[in-house]
Structure 1
Amino acid sequence: MTQTHETLTTPETRLDGVNRVFFCVAPSTINPQFASYYPPLGLLYLAGTAEAMGKHVTVYDAALKRDSIEKAADTILAADPDLVCITCFTETRFDMQLLAAEIKKRRPQIWIIVGGPHVSFTWEDTLRHTAVDLVAIGEGEAVIRELLAGKPLSEVPGIAYRHDGGIAVNDRPPRVQDLDTLPPPARHLIDMRAYPSARPYKNRCTQVNTNRGCPFGCAYCSATHFWGRKSTQLSAEKVIERITHIHDTYGYDVIFFYDDEFLVNKDRALKLMKLFREKTPWLKWITSVRFDSLNDELLEEMGRSGCQQLNFGLETFNPNTYKLIHRKVNYEKARHFIDKAIRSGVKQAQIYLLIGLPGDDPAGLRRTFLKALSLKATFISTQILRVYPGTIIDTYAHEKRVLPEGFHWYAPYRDGMPNLPTVPIYDEQPRALLVKQYKFLAFYLRVTSLLRRNMPKSLLALYIPLDVFAFRVASKLSGLFKGGADTAERAAAD
Structure 2
Amino acid sequence: MVVSFIVPPEISSENPAERTAGCTRMVYPMPNIYELIVAAVLENAGYDVRYIDCVMEKKQWRDFDRFLSKDDSRVYLLWTVNLSIETDIEAAKLIRSKRPDAFVLFLGPGATYFTDKFLLDDKMMVVRGEPEDTVAELIECFHSERDVDNVKGLSFLKDGQICRNPTRPLIRDLDRLPFPARHFIEKYPYSNPKLKVHPYTTVLTSRNCPYQCIYCVPSSLTFAREIEFKAAKGHKPPVSSRSVENVVAEIDELASKGYKSIAFIDDNFIVSAKRLRPICDAIKKHGLLWGCQARVDAITDEIASILGDAGCCFVDLGVESFNDEILAYIKKGITRDDIFRGINLLKKYKVPVKLNILIGTSPLETEQTIKETLKESMKLGVSQVMFNIVAPFPGTEFYELALKNDWIVGGHYVPTDVQRHSILNYPNLSTQQMTRLLYRNNMSFFLRPSFIWLHIRKFRSWHDFVTAFKALKIKLFG
Question: CA offset at residue 456 of structure 1?
Answer: 9.1
State how far apart, in whole Å, the 2-side matches of 1:26 and 1:219 are: 32
> How many angstroms does 1:82 deviate by?
0.4
Deviations, residues 380-423 of structure 1 (Å, cap 9, x unaligned): 121111232322222233223344658476xxx7x7x89666xx
Separation of aligned partners in 1, 2:123 and 2:353: 42
Q: Quickly say closer, same or farther: Cα 1:316–1:328, change in 2 above 3 A.
A: farther
- 1:60 and 2:52 matched: yes
Is this contact kept in 2: 1:104–1:131, CA < 8 A? no
Which structure 1 segments of 5+ residues have no match?
1-18, 458-494
State the Cα deviation string for residues 333-385 of structure 1 (Å, max 9, x = none).
32232222122132x21101111222212222222222222223111121111
**Displacement of 1:289:** 0.6
Amino acid at match of 2:433: L
Amino acid at match of 1:244: D
Structure 1 residue 73 displacement after superposition: 3.9
Any residues of structure 2 matched to 1:164-183 within 5 Å, and which?
Answer: 164-183=159-178
Match of 1:432 in 2: 432
Letter in 1 for 2:211: F
Partner of 2:134 in structure 1?
143
Amino acid of the structure 1 residue aligned with 2:353: A
Question: Which is higher, the Rg of structure 1 or of structure 2?
Answer: 1
Mapped partners of 2:411, 2:402: distance in 1: 13
Secondary structure, aligned partner of 1:152:
coil
Cα distance, 1:186–1:204 mapped onto 2, change above 3 Å? closer
State whether residues 318 and 365 of structure 1, in contact with CA within 8 Å, keep that contact through their aligned partners in structure 2. Answer: no
Q: What is the number of equivalent residue pairs in this alignment?
A: 427
- Contact 1:123-1:160 at 8 Å conserved across structures: yes
Give runs of aligned pairs for residues 29-428 of structure 1, distance below 5 A.
29-30=11-12, 31-32=14-15, 34-35=25-26, 37-127=29-119, 133-150=124-141, 152-223=147-218, 226-228=224-226, 229-249=237-257, 251-277=258-284, 280-346=285-351, 348-359=352-363, 360-403=365-408, 407=412, 425-428=423-426
Instruction: Kindly provide the CA deviation profile for residues 30-84 of structure 1, in whole angstroms up to 9, marking residues without a partner as x.
Output: 3316346221101101111111111000011123233333323433453310000
Per the TM alignment, residue 194 of structure 1 is displaced from its structure 2 partner at its CA by: 2.3
Give 1:113's aligned amino acid. L
2:175, 2:243 within 8 Å by CA — same for their partners in 1?
Answer: yes
The 3 A distance-change label for structure 1 pair 71 and 418 is farther
- Aligned counterparts of 1:381 and 1:37: Cα–Cα separation in 2: 17
CA–CA distance in structure 2, aligned partners of residues 84 and 74 of structure 1: 16
Distance 2:166 2:276 in 1: 33
Contact 1:25–1:88 (CA under 8 A) maintained in structure 2: no
Instruction: Give the conservation status (yes or no) of the 8 Å contact 1:214–1:227.
Output: no
* Separation (CA, whole Å) in 1 of partners of 2:187 and 2:425: 39
Residue matched to 2:231: none
Structure 1 residue 188: Cα displacement: 1.3
**CA 1:381–1:192: 2 relative to 1, 3 Å:** same
Q: CA RMSD in A?
A: 2.7
Contact 2:378 2:445 in 1 (8 A): no
Corresponding residue SS for 2:327: helix
Structure 2 unaligned segments of length 5 or more: list them.
17-24, 227-236, 459-478
**What CA distance in whole angstroms lies between the structure 1 residues aligned with 2:337 and 2:412?**
42
Amino acid of the structure 1 residue aligned with 2:10: S
Deviation of the 1:320 alpha carbon: 3.2
Taking only the aligned residue pairs, the percentage that are identical comes to 22
CA distances 1:437-471 after superposition (whole Å, capped 9, x unpaired): 112111111123724744999xxxxxxxxxxxxxx
1:63 match: secondary structure: coil
TM-score (norm 1): 0.79
SS in 2 for 1:287: strand
Instruction: Please give the secondary structure, in 2, of the residue aligned with 1:153.
Output: coil
Instruction: Give the partner amino acid of 1:142.
Output: D
Separation in structure 1 between the aligned mates of residue 85 and residue 424 of structure 2, nearest angstrom = 18
Question: Does the 8 A contact of 2:409 with 2:424 survive in 1?
Answer: no
Code of the residue aligned with 1:226 in structure 2: it is A
Conserved? CA contact 1:379–1:453, under 8 Å = no
Give the direction of change, closer, same or farther, for the CA distance of 1:275–1:202 in structure 2 (3 Å limit). closer
TM-score, normalising length from structure 2? 0.82
SS of aligned partner of 2:3: strand
Question: Equivalents in 2 of 1:453, 1:310: separation in Å?
Answer: 17
* 1:332 to partner: Cα distance: 2.6
